Structure 1
Amino acid sequence: MSDRSHHGPVTAGVVTAVVGSSSSFVVVLAGLTAVGASPAQAASGLLTLFVTQGLAMLWLSVRHRSPVVVAWSTPGAALLASMSGVAGGWSTAVAAFGVTGLLIVLTAVIPRLGDLVAAIPASLAQGMLAGVLLPLCLAPVTALASAPLAVGPVVLAWLLLLPVSRRWAVPAALGAALVVVLVTGGGAVAGPDLVPALTWTVPHLTVEGVVAISVPLYVVTMASQNVPDVAVLTAHGYRTPWRESLIVTGLGTTLGAPTGGHAINLAAISAALAAGPDAGPDPRRRWIAAVTAAVTMLTLGAASGALTTLVQAAPDGVMQAAAGLALLGALAGSLLAALSDPLEREAAVVTMLVAASGVVVLGVGAAFWALAAGLVLRCVMRRARSHGLAAMSPERRVTGRSGIEKRPAPHGP
């Protein structure tokens, strides 16, 4: 059975919003909780993300008549979920979210900052992301072994849908998880009110929070979300309003930080749903899909309290398994990108391992140290290769160790 079909822009917009949010809201709640949010604060953060991304998407898509899709940073939420708290607690985390938004705005205003981000090797950025995702993607395995009756239906639903429709496999697993919660009667954890409400937190800015959260959150959001979106829209014949999109999403992130929103950005995977043929045969009308997705996101925000309550009430391992399944595709993509260059593999693997270790040094989490370790090893390896090449005679540089001449590849057609 094919996973592709042609829909009108309205239907495609609803699918974009439902699939995008249902596949990752568990990851968002896990990330916010990991850095100190209470259930009420996590629900407020989820509501904030629904609202800020919906408003940003409305502005960009209507203004430019282009299917510009905005989403919350799922890799960023995974990064937060990999942390075991942050020095200073939740108030420090929300301050760091705000700084992340300012960095995104500055990227649009100061081209040199964008050049600095571009200078970070993609292999290391993706290696850091892979290390962050790896422990989370192990959750379905460990949870299934420890609680097979509760987690089994979640994994089975995903397994049955995956060959038929990759798009709906993760929502199906989430649906199975919610059924498990209802059947088991939930846990004893009290969730927030079902009516969503915003909870304000006074930000507390610290150097540790900026280094541990803001910098890696900014890097993974730019490298894994904003930059790929440009490629997706370009492939479908659209031009991304790059600077304006960064300003809008950066301001949305900063304004939403005190109520718990960690980061919004240009969408990557879900952008293809609104920009591709599924959104209708006429490319000039596909911007309606983004508008519909925005309205759907704003509507789904009303369920943020109920969703948080269900996650809080789930038996141990059930929602963690659903979150891990949702991140498998991102893990596969980051591993492929990290290891694609043979000359960068050692540095990329070291970056991944340090990120996966979860170590905290001087109050700073593993993601920062992973990037630092990868950059150091990359510099050492490049210098060693450079010195080794300089030490060769001109003849050996051309022929190599085998003595067979290696001709450079032609540069022209």
Structure 2
Amino acid sequence: MTTSPASSSITEPITAGIITALVGFTSSFVVVVAGLRAVGADPGQAASGLLALTVTFAIGMLVLCVVTRRPITLAWSTPGAAMLVAAGADYHAGWRAAVGAFLVVGMLILATGLIPALGDLIGRIPAPIAQAMLAGVLLTLCLAPMKSLAAQPLLTLPILAVWLIATRWLTRWALPLALVTALVVICSYVAVHGVGVTTQWWPHIAWTTPKFDVSVIVGLAIPLYVVTMASQNVPGVAVLKSFGYETPWRPAMFVTGMGTVIGAPFGGHAINLAALSAALAAGEEAGTDRARRWIAGVSGGISYLVLALASGALVTITALAPPGLLEAVAGLALLATFANALLGAFTHNEFRIASGLTFVTAAAGVTFWGISGAFWAIVVGLVSHGVLRRRGSASGPDGHRGVEDRERSAQ
């Protein structure tokens, strides 16, 4: 005797949505805060950005899930925030210019839903090139845990130990547990050293009038848009499809693009389709009745709105952290993404050299004419791949091997 879909428990999707929000928020908010601070935000503006991002994508989730009856989850652009961290070392245009770039990203995402050719253009960037650029951008942050361990071992070691042990036995909760450990370490550090801060503890919004700087738009907005599309929106569609759900592309791009435009003046850099956390709301953990898993998205959206209330306090606590400790936690949060990006960048022989050049360009953080390394990494990767592909079509690097590599890549 089978159980009808109507009789299936609503508890499962609600619980799955709460877990999705908890894991998604706690595992990467430190990356967002570090990224916003890197491009000029003070603690109050970073808290405003975190609040704006959480509220906009939470409302977007509620709208998309209720209207489409599909478990569509949204998130902030974690790889995009990591790119902001990487750009921060050579960024001197100020917070207003960064906000202007965020606004441009939102308009580009909106345009992607309205103009199919723009989406096709992003799709024409070879995946290994995009992955190599992302890996290069993430490298600096992924080195941070070891740098922090060398600089302040007593503070960093507990975080690394909890993360490693939890990764072995409680994989899903490894990053949240590492974050809790970091917060305990920071509070202990503050209690011992008596560090003070004037930042507000409660959630608040801070308006910033955007400033449009051409070099910042080219060097920050365009790479942020490409990273968000290639590393979040495209994989997000694939994750949903793997569970049997088609993503309503235009509505999703409209909601995320409009949400980014609305959140930008308050400090939000970009929102997008969730990739990793999408599986928690769309998979078996959200219940056996696939027709009701959209409830997990609604539950997740409501949970995110609750978590948004903690944005001010969390940013205040992280502002009290010893130098490098926040970046160490962010590095742990991005380690799996970094490893996957490396794998995607260097799997295909045809792209190996071009991907290598892309990776080192992004990792080096070279800046020309005020334009950041992430943009130049894409340019170097596309140009080098174009040159090498034409050379390989004639005879290949060692005779006929170039043709074989291309055939293998196509398969």
User: Shorter-chain TM-score: which interval?
Assistant: over 0.9
1:234 deviation in Å? 0.9
Distance in 2, matches of 1:368 and 1:202, equals 25
Q: Deviations over 1:316-359 (max 9, x none)?
A: 22221111100011001111111111110111111111101122
Q: What value does the CA root-mean-square deviation take over the aligned residues?
A: 2.2
In the alignment, which of 31, 37, 51 is matched to residue 27 of structure 1? 31
Q: Deviations over 1:42-94 (max 9, x none)?
A: 00000001100101000000101110000000000000011125342100000
- The AA in structure 1 aligned to 2:215 is E
Aligned position for 1:114: 119
SS of 2:310 mapped into structure 1:
helix
SS of 1:265 mapped into structure 2:
strand
Distance in 1, matches of 2:83 and 2:393, equals 35
1:383 deviation in Å? 1.5
Structure 1 residue 69 corresponds to structure 2 residue 73? yes
SS of 2:309 mapped into structure 1:
helix
Structure 1 residue 334 corresponds to structure 2 residue 341? yes
* Shift in CA distance, 163/330, structure 1 to aligned 2, threshold 3 Å: same
Distance in 2, matches of 1:185 and 1:28, equals 22
- The AA in structure 2 aligned to 1:110 is I
In the alignment, which of 17, 35, 41 is matched to residue 21 of structure 2? 17
For residues 385-400 of structure 1, the aligned pairs below 5 Å read 385-388=392-395
- The AA in structure 1 aligned to 2:306 is T
TM norm structure 2: 0.92
For residues 285-296 of structure 1, the aligned pairs below 5 Å read 285-296=292-303
Distance in 1, matches of 2:90 and 2:185, equals 28
Q: Deviations over 1:348-382 (max 9, x none)?
A: 11111110112221101110111111111111101
Report the count of equivalent residues: 396
Distance in 2, matches of 1:232 and 1:369, equals 30
Aligned position for 1:96: 101
Preserved CA contact (<8 Å) 2:90 2:367: no
Q: Deviations over 1:90-116 (max 9, x none)?
A: 000001001001111111111111111
1:388 deviation in Å? 2.8
Structure 1 residue 55 corresponds to structure 2 residue 59? yes
1:145 deviation in Å? 1.2
In the alignment, which of 251, 258, 263 is matched to residue 251 of structure 1? 258
Structure 1 residue 129 corresponds to structure 2 residue 134? yes
* Shift in CA distance, 93/225, structure 1 to aligned 2, threshold 3 Å: same
Aligned position for 1:37: 41
Distance in 2, matches of 1:131 and 1:125, equals 10
Aligned position for 2:202: 195
Structure 1 residue 275 corresponds to structure 2 residue 319? no
Preserved CA contact (<8 Å) 1:35 1:85: no
Structure 1 residue 225 corresponds to structure 2 residue 240? no
Preserved CA contact (<8 Å) 2:106 2:261: yes
Q: Deviations over 1:124-145 (max 9, x none)?
A: 1010000011110011111111
What residue ranges of structure 1 are gaps of 5+ in the alignment?
1-5
Preserved CA contact (<8 Å) 1:104 1:218: yes
Aligned position for 1:3: none
Preserved CA contact (<8 Å) 1:86 1:93: no
Preserved CA contact (<8 Å) 1:130 1:334: yes
User: Runs of at least 4 residues of structure 1 off by over 4 A?
Assistant: none
Aligned position for 1:379: 386
Distance in 1, matches of 2:172 and 2:343, equals 20
Distance in 2, matches of 1:172 and 1:87, equals 35
Distance in 1, matches of 2:125 and 2:241, equals 23
Q: Deviations over 1:140-168 (max 9, x none)?
A: 11111111100011001001101112211
TM norm structure 1: 0.92
Distance in 2, matches of 1:7 and 1:372, equals 49
Preserved CA contact (<8 Å) 1:191 1:312: no
For residues 159-170 of structure 1, the aligned pairs below 5 Å read 159-170=164-175
* Shift in CA distance, 65/141, structure 1 to aligned 2, threshold 3 Å: same
Structure 1 residue 153 corresponds to structure 2 residue 170? no
SS of 1:219 mapped into structure 2:
helix
* Shift in CA distance, 167/218, structure 1 to aligned 2, threshold 3 Å: same
Distance in 2, matches of 1:100 and 1:185, equals 37
Q: Deviations over 1:16-63 (max 9, x none)?
A: 001001000000000000000011000000000110010100000010
Preserved CA contact (<8 Å) 1:43 1:192: no
